[in-house]
Amino acid sequence: MGRPKPITRAAKALALSLIVLLVLFPFWTILATSITAPEEVVANGGWVVWPQSFSFRAYTDIFEGGVITHALTVSLGITILGTATSLFATITLAYALARPGVFGGKPVLIMVLFTFLFPPAMIPSYLVVKELGLLDSYPALVLPVLVNVFNLVIMRGFFQAVPTELIEAAKLDGAGELRILTRIVLPLSKSIVAVVGLFYAVSYWNAFFNAMIYTRQDMWPVQTLMRLYVTQGASLTENAASETGVANSPQAVKMAVVIMATLPIVIVYPFIQRFFAKGVLSGAIKS
């Protein structure tokens, strides 16, 4: 295509720098506000871009026990157990549906794909959870979102690409289906299991609505709890202050909570990113 003109290159560089800045700036100011000394945050009107004085008071405050610590623990537990259960149900179903001519494969596949067109509505889903007696229980945060159709479809696509010869050869050697799955198919599908696992983990960590309607406030994970403080005013500071007995800059504490709720995502993100680089998804999306 030839080398672009200098002016075009400069315009592109400018546009891209601006985009990167727009994406990263909000994270930066949140982080800066959370690690600035409370007096400076207050003096500056609740926001900081370039901290002059550092303090981790906001973090020690939220980790001195109390509601936020509890909510973070709940989030972590739901994420770990939920991801494991979801992966199990997704892998088993995807594997069975990936085998050609399996008994019941076609109707089950149609049944699953139909849910794409007509996803469950809010009120009927609520009634199902209620009828099952799952209200105010942690399984209510996992079971209603156990298998994601999109994740199932890309996983199945990946399993189908495992060469049939390998499976036939293993069968001739007397290997059963479970053995084929765990010894042949899964080791060849590590990258897709990782990607789908991370998708599940991120969605469990980020979920807030199901917890809000299905569970009591003292069971809430951090995202649900954050809603109270973030969009509904300053109740967090009152809460945190009464929990810990110290006053802090309300904004700094708020931002520290936001950072804590974002941190796990930022930590696992490079791993997800690595798999995108390999083109795992672009290939899967095409199908």
Partner 1 sequence: MTATAAPPERHPAASGGDETSPRKPKRRKGRFRRDLVLVALMVPGVAYFLVFHYGALFGNAIAFQDYVPFIGVWHSPWAGFANFVTLFGDADFWHATWNTVSISVLQLVFYFPAPLALALLLHSLVGDKVRKFVQSVVYLPHFISWVIVVALFQQVLGDVGVLNGVLGDAGLHTVDIIGNPDAYKPLVIAQVVWKETGWGTIIFLAALANVDEQLYEAASIDGAGWWRRLWHVTLPAIRPVIVLLLILRLGDILTLGFEQFFLQRDTVGPDAGEVLDTFIYITGIKDGHFSIATAAGLFKGLVGLVMIFTANKIAHRLGEQGVYK
> Quick one: 173 or 245, whose CB is closer to partner 1?
173
Nearest in space to 35 (alpha carbons), one of 266, 234, 249, 274:
249
Q: Which of 76, 84, 93, 241 binds partner 1 (CB under 8 A)?
A: 93
Select the residue interacting with partner 1 from 232, 242, 245, 267 (CB under 8 A): 232
Please name the helix (run of DSSP H) or strand (run of DSSP E) that holds residue 179, with its range, or none.
Answer: helix 177-180
Please report, as residue ranges, which positions from 185 to 214 form the binding site for partner 1 (by CB under 8 A): 191-192, 202, 205-209, 213
The dihedral sign for the CA sequence 141, 216, 226, 264: negative
Q: Using the rule CB under 8 A, is 54 a contact of partner 1?
A: no
Instruction: For the beta carbon of residue 187, count every other beta carbon within 10 angstroms.
Output: 9
State in angstroms the smallest separation of the CB of 36 from partner 1.
13
Q: In the window 143-162, what residues touch partner 1 (CB under 8 A)?
A: 143-144, 146-147, 152, 157-158, 160-161
Residue type, 171: K
CB of residue 75 to partner 1, shortest distance in Å: 11
Residues 235-254 that bind partner 1 (CB under 8 A): 251, 254
* Residue 176 contacts partner 1 per CB under 8 A: yes
Kindly state the tokens that stand for 267.
């930590």
Q: Which is nearer to partner 1, 230 or 245 (CB)?
A: 230
Q: Residues 257, 68: contact at Cβ < 8 Å?
A: yes
- Look at residues 191, 192, 202 and name the one whose alpha carbon lies nearest to residue 82: 202
End-to-end CA gap in the chain: 30
Quote the radius of gyration of the chain (alpha carbons, Å): 24
Residue of 4, 136, 166, 246 interacting with partner 1 (CB under 8 A): 4
Map residues 211-230 to x or -, x wherever contact with partner 1 holds by CB under 8 A: --x---------x--xx--x
Please, which residues bridge with residue 36 across strands? Answer: 54
Residues 106-125 that bind partner 1 (CB under 8 A): 108, 111-112, 115, 117-125
Contact track, partner 1, 18-37, x by CB under 8 A: -xx-xxxxxx-xx--x----
- Any idea which residue has 């546009």 for tokens? 15
Distance CA 36, CA 52 (A): 7
15 contacts partner 1 (rule: CB under 8 A): yes
By the rule CB under 8 A, 46 interacts with partner 1: yes
Question: Residue 215 corresponds to which amino acid?
Answer: T
The least CB distance from residue 11 to partner 1, in Å, is 10
How many residues are recorded in the chain? 287
Give the three-state DSSP class for 54. Answer: strand
The reply to whether 127 sits near partner 1 by the rule CB under 8 A is: yes
The single residue among 45, 133, 174, 187 that binds partner 1, judged by CB under 8 A, is: 45
